[in-house]
Chain A
């Protein structure tokens, strides 16, 4: 079976797994399923429990994508880590506010601010 092209980019910043999106739209259900399984696999295999998801370049986001973020949040919490989100465009931030998920997630303007907010050590 041919391997699918990754829809995410992963890197490490100190004790934090940093995730970025390759696509500008996170809408399509098949793509979101792939993103979900990539995230779960990477987080479960990571040495660190903390995760930053950076939304730089993302223009659209559906409720299915929000569902994936909630699943990831539960997984990260179960591993005693923190999930933080950053670089969310204004229109998408409005989606978080409408659904009141801005109360559930730690949202930062920039990845630098988010990285500085994780516990040290």
Chain B
């Protein structure tokens, strides 16, 4: 189910493990950002953060269960782009995620998604048990 329409500045979409659904979401968001004349770096940052957030929600939240979905609500305005990513998992403690940049963790192949989201987004919040991620990209701060 999707309420994102071509040419829209906001939407709500249920994403499963299908790459096509995520790509359709990315295309809708990129169109809205382009309409609001966001720059190349903003488009790169937001595309990466959406990818990381949804993949974390599918893999770590929903434990790759194909019966579960991830809800993504988004809104783009001239000043900011806001996203809510909500999975059907049991949540997690964001403070307990190991720092992947420490020397002893540098060669571990996973665990970098959340730090990339924090690096590229202006604000990141975890709601509820941790299965609801809110992330906001503020334009003035980044461009």
Interface residues on chain B, number (Cβ under 8 Å): 23
Closest to A92 in B: B44
Could you say which residues of chain A place their CB within 8 Å of the CB of B115?
Answer: 98-99
Chain B nearest CB, measured from A22 CB (Å)? 16
The answer to whether B55 has its CB under 8 Å from any CB of chain A is yes
Whether A99 contacts B101 by the Cβ 8 Å rule is: yes
Whether A30 contacts B19 by the Cβ 8 Å rule is: yes
The answer to whether A40 has its CB under 8 Å from any CB of chain B is no
Contact of B44 (CB < 8 Å), options: A67, A74, A91: A91
Given A30-B19, A95-B48, A98-B119, A67 and B55 touching (CB < 8 A)?
no
The answer to whether B1 has its CB under 8 Å from any CB of chain A is no
The answer to whether B107 has its CB under 8 Å from any CB of chain A is yes
Hey, what's the 0/1 contact readout for B45-60 against A, CB within 8 Å counting as 1? 0011001100100000
Whether B55 contacts A98 by the Cβ 8 Å rule is: no
The answer to whether B91 has its CB under 8 Å from any CB of chain A is no
Main secondary structure of the interface of A (DSSP, over half): helix
The answer to whether A78 has its CB under 8 Å from any CB of chain B is no
Whether B109 contacts A71 by the Cβ 8 Å rule is: yes
The answer to whether B11 has its CB under 8 Å from any CB of chain A is no
Chain A nearest CB, measured from B71 CB (Å)? 19
Could you say which residues of chain B place their CB within 8 Å of the CB of A99?
Answer: 100-101, 112, 115-116
Chain B nearest CB, measured from A116 CB (Å)? 26
Closest to B59 in A: A29
Whether A62 contacts B55 by the Cβ 8 Å rule is: yes
Main secondary structure of the interface of B (DSSP, over half): helix
User: For residues 44 through 76 of chain A, which have their beta carbon under 8 Å from a beta carbon of chain B?
Assistant: 59-60, 62-64, 66-68, 70-71, 73-74
Bound complex: CA A39 to CA B109 (Å): 15
Chain B nearest CB, measured from A77 CB (Å)? 10
Whether A100 contacts B106 by the Cβ 8 Å rule is: yes
Could you say which residues of chain B place their CB within 8 Å of the CB of A1?
Answer: none
The answer to whether B41 has its CB under 8 Å from any CB of chain A is yes
Could you say which residues of chain B place their CB within 8 Å of the CB of A59?
Answer: 44
Chain B nearest CB, measured from A78 CB (Å)? 12
Chain A nearest CB, measured from B59 CB (Å)? 8
Given A70-B108, A74-B107, A100-B106, A60 and B44 touching (CB < 8 A)?
yes
Bound complex: CA A60 to CA B45 (Å): 10
Whether B113 contacts A63 by the Cβ 8 Å rule is: yes
Bound complex: CA A59 to CA B119 (Å): 18
